[in-house]
Amino acid sequence: MNKNFFLTAAVAAIMGFSAIPAMANSVWLDQYGVRNEAGGRQTGINNNMGIYQDGRRNSAIGNQFGRSNTIAIGQNGRRNTAQAHQTGRYNQAGVGQFGSNHNAVVVQDGNGNIAAGVQVGNGCSGNVAQTGSGNVAAFVQTCP
């Protein structure tokens, strides 16, 4: 009886542990400078995020509602702001921003949307809004 109970408990534990990664959401954050802010929310399954901020006073927000969505962001200089909001399934995002004083907003609602980014210099602003399925976008800017 004890042997069967132990075996059943071990099998249940293994099944429980193996089910967790398939439904798990992921978040990665790196912030090196001072007064950087990052936040967000994930609801659903298999969502990923990223967010990396190197300089000072950068702000990043990522929200994911659905499943199998990906956000990245980036930023490097100072006073950059990036937001990515995803609803639905299989949305991708991006951003980038390397200089200072950039603003980027990506809003995705639907299935199979892809957006990108990059901004480089100083003071660029890029906004992408995607609704529906099968959308693709890209913005590359080198503002003064």
Q: What is the pLDDT of residues 46-57, one digit of tens each?
A: 999 999 999 999
* Domain parsing of the chain, residue ranges: 25-131
Q: In this predicted structure, what is the pLDDT of residue 144? A: 79
Instruction: Reply yes or no on whether the pLDDT at 138 is more than 50.
Output: yes
Q: What is the pLDDT of residues 5-63, one digit of tens each?
A: 444 444 455 444 444 455 689 999 999 999 999 999 999 999 999 999 999 999 999 99
Q: In this predicted structure, what is the pLDDT of residue 3? A: 54
Query: Which residue has better confidence, 133 or 3?
Result: 133
Q: In this predicted structure, what is the pLDDT of residue 112? A: 78
CATH of 25-131, one of 1.10.8.350, 1.10.3720.10, 2.160.10.10, 3.40.50.2300: 2.160.10.10
DSSP secondary structure of 21-79: HHH------EE-SSS-EEEEEEEEES-----EE-SSS-EEEEEEEEES--------SSS
